[in-house]
């Protein structure tokens, strides 16, 4: 329902031509796109994480469309240069992928290479180290295969029926957001307990879904590719102490550096919403030496971000909105400017 309403709103902006009239004011100097998986569309009925998946065909269409609209597809280094020293160049688009999924190498990379399109992959190091929890994928697998789920919530054993698709969706909404809001270490303990109880192998999940260090190392050799950091444990940094948040950022950069021989200059905040990354964390990222850091706050990049390079907004290519029309509206920036009451910065 919510998705439908948003689509109607985007269509209204598109067909009214509002995005064209306001474009000179709202478009900014570029945009950074967020992606996760690039995979053929699955037919599974219960697939709540498919918002994180775009198809290879859509990726090709995005590359062609942004170039047709006059954007340069550039690396994060070049985006950094253009934001901090704006000149009268064409607007830019950066293509970024979070987490380090193997489909980025096997499916997205050949497409990006063929189209000579620079891109970045942000790696959370516990995943290629095979000790991390891909907890949102584990939760999907548990709900998908179980008809009945028991969870200890705040000391109480709760039971959920998850037989029908509607029930599975309901349990997902409840458990996903409950887990998202738990203290980070407790969240992982709950997931580990659930995985043990319902026979989901977190190590095997990392091995299957995430590139190995060897694969990341090979990719890093290609000048088209930027490897960025994405913490060690994929924690929402705003929920950690300052010391822990700093350690997550610095340690992930050091681990990546030990594998690819170069310290990453770019960082992506896990989850990236205001509750997961705030002003304190933007400062730590700057202090830790990153040239840029990206959030998932929605927006295009305006020149005012030159003073806030570790709080950059992005536009998410959401699996539920695989339409060039929506991307065109988003790139125009009008929707974000209206939401932010015509302010160009969203950094509070």
For the chain, percent helix, then strand, then coil, each to nearest 5? 50, 15, 30
| Integer CA distances (angstroms), 257 to 100, 223, 253, in order | 15, 16, 6
Q: How far is the CB of 212 from Zn ion (least distance, A)?
A: 18
Q: Would you call 34 helix, strand, or coil by DSSP?
A: strand
Q: How far is the CB of 306 from Zn ion (least distance, A)?
A: 26
Q: How far is the CB of 133 from Zn ion (least distance, A)?
A: 12
Q: How far is the CB of 100 from Zn ion (least distance, A)?
A: 9
Query: Nearer Cβ to Zn ion, position 14 or 99?
Result: 99
User: Interface residues with Zn ion (CB under 5 A)?
Assistant: 98-99, 270
Tokens for 45, please give them. 């009925």
Q: How far is the CB of 145 from Zn ion (least distance, A)?
A: 24
Q: Are 267 and 310 in contact (CB under 8 A)?
A: yes
Query: Nearer Cβ to Zn ion, position 231 or 337?
Result: 231
Q: How far is the CB of 328 from Zn ion (least distance, A)?
A: 26
Could you give the CA distance from residue 267 to residue 229 in angstroms, rounded to a whole number?
5
**Contact residues for 9 (Cβ-Cβ < 8 A; gap 6+):** 335
Query: Nearer Cβ to Zn ion, position 98 or 140?
Result: 98
| Integer CA distances (angstroms), 295 to 7, 97, 107, 240, 332, in order | 23, 12, 25, 17, 19
Query: Nearer Cβ to Zn ion, position 22 or 54?
Result: 54
**Closest residue to Zn ion in the complex (CB):** 98
**Contact residues for 207 (Cβ-Cβ < 8 A; gap 6+):** 130
Query: Nearer Cβ to Zn ion, position 104 or 334?
Result: 104
Query: Nearer Cβ to Zn ion, position 142 or 237?
Result: 237
Q: Are 76 and 226 in contact (CB under 8 A)?
A: yes
Backbone dihedral region of 70: left (phi > 0), alpha (psi from -120 to 50 degrees) or beta?
left
Q: With the CA atoms of 101, 103, 109 and 115 taken in that order, what torsion angle do they form, in degrees rounded to the nearest 10?
A: -120
Q: How far is the CB of 333 from Zn ion (least distance, A)?
A: 24
Query: Nearer Cβ to Zn ion, position 135 or 213?
Result: 135
Q: How far is the CB of 18 from Zn ion (least distance, A)?
A: 32
| Integer CA distances (angstroms), 87 to 30, 79, 90, in order | 12, 12, 9
**Helix 202-209 and helix 184-197, axial crossing angle in degrees, nearest 10:** 100
- The residues pairing with 225 across neighbouring beta strands, listed in sequence order, are 119
Tokens for 268, please give them. 């992506």
- The residues pairing with 293 across neighbouring beta strands, listed in sequence order, are 267
Q: How far is the CB of 260 from Zn ion (least distance, A)?
A: 19
Query: Nearer Cβ to Zn ion, position 272 or 299?
Result: 272
Q: What does residue 313 show for φ and ψ, rounded to 5 degrees? A: -80, 165
Query: Nearer Cβ to Zn ion, position 16 or 320?
Result: 320
């Amino acid at each position: 329902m919510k998705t439908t309403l948003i689509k109607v709103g985007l269509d209204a902006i598109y067909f009214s031509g509002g995005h064209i009239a306001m474009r000179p004011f709202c478009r900014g100097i570029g945009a950074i796109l967020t992606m996760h998986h690039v995979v053929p569309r699955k037919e599974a009925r219960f697939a709540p994480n498919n918002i994180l998946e775009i198809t290879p065909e859509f990726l090709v269409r995005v590359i062609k469309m942004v170039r047709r609209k006059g954007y340069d597809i550039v690396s994060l280094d070049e985006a950094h240069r253009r934001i901090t020293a704006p000149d009268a160049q064409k607007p830019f688009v950066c293509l970024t992928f979070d987490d380090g999924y193997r489909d980025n190498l096997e499916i997205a990379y050949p497409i990006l290479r063929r189209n000579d399109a620079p891109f970045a992959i942000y790696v959370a190091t516990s995943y290629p180290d095979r000790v991390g929890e891909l907890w949102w994928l584990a939760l999907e697998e548990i709900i998908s295969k179980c008809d009945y789920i028991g969870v200890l919530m705040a000391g109480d054993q709760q039971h959920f029926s998850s037989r029908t698709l509607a029930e599975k969706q309901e349990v997902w909404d409840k458990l996903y957001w409950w887990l998202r809001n738990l203290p980070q270490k407790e969240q992982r303990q709950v997931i580990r307990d659930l995985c043990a109880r319902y026979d989901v192998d977190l190590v095997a999940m990392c091995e299957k879904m995430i590139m190995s260090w060897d694969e990341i190392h090979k990719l890093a050799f290609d000048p088209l590719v930027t490897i960025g950091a994405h913490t060690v444990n994929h924690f929402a940094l705003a929920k950690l102490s300052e010391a822990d948040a700093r350690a997550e950022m610095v340690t992930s950069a050091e681990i990546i550096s030990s594998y690819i021989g170069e310290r990453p200059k770019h960082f992506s905040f896990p989850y990236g919403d205001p509750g997961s990354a705030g002003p304190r964390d933007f400062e730590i990222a700057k202090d830790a030496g990153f040239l840029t850091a990206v959030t998932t706050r929605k927006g295009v990049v305006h020149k005012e971000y030159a003073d806030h390079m570790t709080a950059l907004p992005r536009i998410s290519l959401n699996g539920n909105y695989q339409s060039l029309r929506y991307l065109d509206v988003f790139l125009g920036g009008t929707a974000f400017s209206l939401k932010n009451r015509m302010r160009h910065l969203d950094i509070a």
